[in-house]
Amino acid sequence: MVEGHTTANDGKQWDLTLRDGLKFHDGAPVLARDCVATIMRWAKGYPMGQALIARTDELTAVSDKVTRFRLKRPFPLLPEALAEPYCSIMPERLAQTSAFEQVKEAIGSGPFKFITSERIPGQRVVFDKNPDYVPRPSGTPSFQRRSESGLYRPGHLEFCAGPFNGLGGACAR
């Protein structure tokens, strides 16, 4: 989502600039305030987020496109921290949900939309291409629609780390 970043003040200030044209699956633009709200929510429940926020004096949206971290001391792991899967940016209104409560809607900004109406719990999930997705200049999504079914079978325990099998995650039985 980030087009680029700058650092200043001996690594104690990071400005992260969002790419142009990013939209959430509901059509709303992705704004820096969404990023701030999501990061604050994530930081309450995950050790890397807690470590980052403990080293942060101020986290602000200085414009619609720029998120600023003012750190107490340099934290070179900031990019790695924000790349954690549970720090996935969501609309500010959803990020306002307690960090210890499940978010009720699946709205992101990635190349695929989760199709809630076609989900059959324990049997099937469906993702459609997001026509508003803005890929990095280096790539585009590789498929249009994906349906996963049969992930769960009676008598078998399956665990998926990351996205569903076939979407980059690893499943173990």
Average pLDDT over every residue of 144-171: 45
Confidence of residue 12 (pLDDT cuts 50, 70, 90): very high
pLDDT tens digits, one per residue of 27-76: 999 999 999 999 999 999 999 999 999 999 999 999 999 999 999 999 99
The answer to whether 96 touches 37, Cβ cutoff 8 Å, is yes
Residue in this structure with the two tokens 């997705």, named with its chain if needed: 133
Candidates 170, 167, 159, 73; CA nearest to 128 is 167
Average pLDDT over every residue of 78-91: 91
**Ramachandran angles phi, psi of 147, nearest 5°:** -125, 135
Strands in 30-138 per DSSP E: 56-61, 66-71, 112-114, 124-129
| Predicted pLDDT of residue 136 | 79
**Which element (helix H / strand E) includes 7?**
strand 2-8
| Predicted pLDDT of residue 165 | 40
Cα(34)–Cα(165) distance, integer angstroms: 29
Please report, in angstroms and rounded to a whole number, the separation of the first and last CA atoms in the chain: 33
Mean pLDDT, the chain, whole residue set: 83
| Predicted pLDDT of residue 127 | 87
| Predicted pLDDT of residue 163 | 46
